[in-house]
Amino acid sequence: MAVPAIETDGLTKEYDGTRAVDDLDLDIEPGTVYGFLGPNGAGKTTTMRMLTTLIRPSSGTARVAGEPVTDRDAVTPNIGYLPEEPPLYDELTGREQLTYIAGLRDLPDDEARERIDSLLRRFDLYEDADKRIDAYSKGMRQKTGVIQAVLHRPDVVFLDEPTSGLDPRAARTMRDTIADLAEQRMTVFLSTHILPVVDELADRIGVLHDGRLVAEGSPEELKRRAETGEGRSLEEVFLEVTTEVAETPAESAME
Residue 214 lies inside a defined structural domain of this protein: yes
Residue 51 lies inside a defined structural domain of this protein: yes
Q: Whole domain around residue 79: which residue ranges?
A: 6-253
Residues 6+ apart with CB under 8 A from 15: none
Residue 121 lies inside a defined structural domain of this protein: yes
DSSP class of 93: B
Residue 247 lies inside a defined structural domain of this protein: yes
State how far Cα 128 lies from the chain centre: 26
Instruction: Please give the C-alpha separations between residue 179 and each of 32, 81, 184, 188, 190, in angstroms, as whole numbers.
Output: 10, 17, 9, 9, 12
Conformation bin of residue 161: beta by default, left when phi > 0, alpha when psi is -120 to 50 = left
- The dihedral through the CA atoms of 125, 126, 129, 131 has a sign that is negative
Give the C-alpha separation, 149 to 159, whole Å: 9
pTM of the model: 0.87
Residue 191 lies inside a defined structural domain of this protein: yes
Residue 202 lies inside a defined structural domain of this protein: yes
Give the C-alpha separation, 54 to 48, whole Å: 9
Give, for all 255 residues of the chain, the pLDDT tens digit. Answer: 679 999 999 999 999 989 999 999 999 999 999 999 988 889 999 999 999 999 999 999 999 999 999 999 999 999 999 998 899 999 999 999 999 999 999 999 999 999 999 999 988 899 999 999 999 998 899 889 989 999 999 999 999 988 877 778 878 888 888 888 888 889 999 998 778 888 888 999 999 999 999 999 998 888 777 665 555 566 677 767 666 655 554 444 333
Give the C-alpha separation, 226 to 11, whole Å: 27
Could you give the number of structural domains in the chain? 1
Residue 1 lies inside a defined structural domain of this protein: no
Residue 176 lies inside a defined structural domain of this protein: yes
Closest by Cα among 85, 81, 62, 74 to 4: 62
Other CB atoms within 10 A of residue 217 CB: 14
CATH number at residue 10: 3.40.50.300
